[in-house]
Amino acid sequence: MSTLNIVLVEPQIPQNTGNIARTCAATGARLHLVKPLGFAIDDKKLKRAGLDYWQYLDITYYENLAEFLEKNADGNFFFFTTKGQHIYSDAEYPDNSYLIFGREDAGLPEDLLYHHPEDCVRMPMLGMIRSLNLSNTVAIATYEVLRQWGFPKLKTTGELTKYTWN
């Protein structure tokens, strides 16, 4: 089974993290939260955004970025940043990929990006726009990886409630 990991480094906005948790629950991606967080885990806004999906999550917490990097050194890292020189959809994502996202207000540390230039990817956007919303970026990136993998274990067709498809 393929493993996809979503990593939030020091997220600040509980609603974003809640939405991302819901994306992880819907896709089977593992969620990694790197402290310090800008909110308490029991924050009502966080739980409300994630609705009733918390029971489906596989979450790991880390005290800091150094601990995350040390404990997951065998992973395939992709750093999502507006400073990236490569387009996210051009990357090939192997099993055990870690999609790493920084703080909403500051992104990932620039020294980390500098030391991993080939692993820094970005979403194309107009130059005068600072960035996309974090939860939107995570969703786009997650589904690109899953598309490349053929959407393993995901239901790819739906049913009508009152009718039958021909």
Tell me: is residue 158 an annotated ligand-binding position: no
Give the tens place of pLDDT for each residue, 39-57: 887 756 656 655 567 788 8
Q: What is the pLDDT of residue 27?
A: 96
**Residue-wise pLDDT tens digits, 20-33:** 999 999 999 999 99
Structural domain boundaries in the chain: 4-148
SS3 category, 8? strand
Q: Is 131 marked as a binding-site residue?
A: yes
Residue 150 clears pLDDT 60, i.e. is over it: yes
Instruction: Kindly state the percentage of the chain with pLDDT values over 70.
Output: 93
The CATH fold assigned to 4-148 is: Alpha/beta knot (3.40.1280)
The answer to whether 1 is annotated as binding is no
For helices 134-148 and 14-27, give the axis angle rounded to 10 degrees: 20
Query: 9 CB contacts (<8 Å, ≥6 apart)?
Result: 34, 65, 68, 100, 101, 102, 103, 108
